[in-house]
Amino acid sequence: MLNTLLLSLVLACNDAPKDRGIDSTLIVAPVNTTTLTGKVLRFAKTLKGTPYKYGSANPGVGFDCSGFITYVFNHFRIDVPRSSVGFTNEGRPVALAEAQPGDLILFTGTDSTVRTVGHMGIITQVGNRIVFIHSTSGKAYGVTETPLDKYYMGRFVKIIRYI
C-alpha cells in the first residue's frame, strides 16, 4: 500500500513535457490507447447530425471540419491545432493500407489541384473500405460518416496517427 501511495505521488508530480498533444500532467496511470481511441470514436459519433458552421468549434452552433476535430479531441484533454492545415506536419504519418480507426485523414480543400490540407476527418472503419467521420459543407452539410470514395481519394493527402 505504501509503495502504491508513493508511486501515485511521484506520478502526480511528474512534470514531463507534452507528448503529441496529450498533457501527461493530467495522466496519473498509463493510458490504454485502444480504450482512448474507442472513447474518442464513440464520442465523435454522438455528434452526428450537428450542422456545418464555418469557423466554429461549438456544437450548439455547428462545426467546420477542424472545429469538429478540435472539439472531440479537447473533450479528452488532447490539444490539437485549430485549423486543418495545422495538422500538415503533426502526428505520425501512416500508410493508407495501415490505417486504423481513430487515425486522422487529411484532404485538400475543394480545389484538389491545390495540394494544401484543407479538410479532415477521423477514420471510423477500415477493412473492405475506409469510412471517416467529419463535418462537411457538402450535401450532408454537417457531421456525418462518409466512405473514402473516388471523390475523396482525388483530394487525399495523408493519414496521421495522433493518439
Residues annotated as catalytic (active site), given as ranges: 65, 119, 134
The answer to whether 19 and 162 have CB atoms below 8 angstroms apart is no
Q: Who's near 86: CB < 8 A, 6+ residues apart?
A: 66, 80
- φ, ψ for residue 42 (rounded to 5)? -60, -45
Buried b (16+ CB within 10 A) or exposed e, 25-47: eeeeeeeeeeeebeebbeebeeb
